A and B are shown apart, each in its own frame.
Chain A
Amino acid sequence: MGEFEELILLIVAIMNGRAYGIGIIEELEKRTGRSAAIGAVQTVLKRMEDKGWVNSAFGEATNERGGKRKRYYTITAKGKKIASDTREKRNRLWKAIPKTVLRYGAA
């Protein structure tokens, strides 16, 4: 899983059923300070849906969206397992770093 894919998957999980295109971009910016284009986010969402990591369903339409419905994304069991496995891998790597390397001011 790529870094951007991981971020989007985690944002979808954080938003817990309320994640949709623009909402994900705003949440991503708020939590990581990272901006993303609609196309980049949507490409990742479609790819993750193909892989079965997220599900989607149409929600409500609003005026500001010109009457177009939002598509809400939710993380699936497979997605949760992938996210969890990735965190495990990261944790193992973090734990493997010698403490002297992590200490501030070390040369």
Chain B
Amino acid sequence: MEQPEKHPPAWAMRLLRIVVHPEFREELEGDLLEKYQGDLQNYGPEIAQKRLYADLLSLIKPNLIFNISVNTMKTRSWLLLLLVPMAVVAASVAPFLPGPGNDLSHGISQFAHATGYIGLPFVPFGLLWLIVEMRNGHGQQLNRWTNGYYPAWLALSPVFFFLPFQITKTLLDGQTFNLPPFIMLIFVASFCIYCIRKLKNKTRYQFNPAPLYIVLIPVVALVSSRFLVEKAAEVTREKAIANTEPLIAAIEKYKMDNGEYPENLASLKGKYIQEIPQVNIMGMRPYQYERWNSSFQLSFERLWHWNATEVVVYNNVGQKGIKSNYKNYTTAHSNWWYYLAD
């Protein structure tokens, strides 16, 4: 009867079979066993086992697990894989990027935000398809599961549940103005169906990056809108506030000279300030000025929430003239606060 230490631990070999790509399993298992036998003779069971664990760890490499390497995808595909998440992040933070104020940046950001949520149900199916795609090997005869045909239909399946339901609901509620995005989705789904049908007869191995995008785009969109947007909003708000310092100083100087606050910002031009400062952040609207009896209010608005406008307000005596019961949020600057209006 053989001694148990003559064989490596069964769990280690089982782990190897699970982890490494099926195409490499036999060769790597044989290599590990041969090395173990050699180490057993040279160093004894204890060291042989330690070396086996080290060798097992060394096999945890992407191209041994998934059979994917830099050559599996074309350069163009790798470049796209880098550019698409960057574009998603840029779209998410579009209202906070430097540039002339416009509402389009808000629309783009909301689109990226919605993509994150709408794309979320597709992620598990995309992940399944991705695993199938990555476990394929060169020279392997592909069937309708391994060529991605069935996984792609599965990945598209949430559309068949949600789209008819949402369209019916929209029509029943009489919100026909909400229909254009659904019509666009129908076009996108039709294009996807066309692409899936082309997969049906694919027999030769070639890595398809489509499931990678199904997983990547919603995840990147969600992560960036959840974590990046809040921070970008805070930074740009503070920047826009700091930008008004010369303007506020000019208004106060006007008051000292004339005994009252100016009627509008144009009155300051020339003698008190060369140019009225501009916000220069895409999602922000120009500074607004309002003269009250013994004080003044400077404010700016910006769109970056789903259904609310952020109004950032300054009042030189700290008077809060908000007409409704909106909740106030403080900023790092004194007499500046903001609220979210419907």
Interface residues of A (CB under 8 A from B): 20-22, 25, 37-40, 42-43, 46-47, 50-51, 58, 61-62, 64-66, 68-71
Contacts and interface: CB of A to CB of B under 8 A. Distances in A.
Given A39-B55, A43-B64, A46-B63, A22 B35 contact: yes
B275 interface: no
Nearest to A24: B31
Given A39-B64, A43-B63, A64-B37, A21 B28 contact: yes
A50 B69 CA distance: 8
Interface in B36-74: 37-38, 54-55, 57-61, 63-64, 67, 69-72
Contacts of A46: 24, 63-64, 67, 69
B77 to A, nearest CB: 15
Interface of B: 24, 26-35, 37-38, 54-55, 57-61, 63-64, 67, 69-72
Contacts of A58: 26-27
A39 B33 contact: no
B31 A22 contact: yes
A37 B58 CA distance: 6
B73 to A, nearest CB: 11
Nearest to A63: B37
A38 B64 CA distance: 11
A22 B34 contact: yes
B30 A39 contact: no
Contact of A47 (B27, B54, B63): B63
Contacts of B26: 58, 68-69, 71
B27 A21 contact: yes
Nearest to A49: B138
A62 B34 CA distance: 9
Contacts of A39: 55, 57-61, 64
Contacts of A64: 33-34, 37
A55 B7 CA distance: 31
Contacts of A68: 26-27, 29-30, 33
Given A38-B28, A66-B29, A69-B26, 12 more contacts: A20-B27, A25-B35, A37-B54, A39-B55, A40-B58, A42-B31, A46-B64, A50-B69, A58-B26, A64-B33, A68-B29, A71-B26
A104 B72 CA distance: 48
A21 B35 CA distance: 10
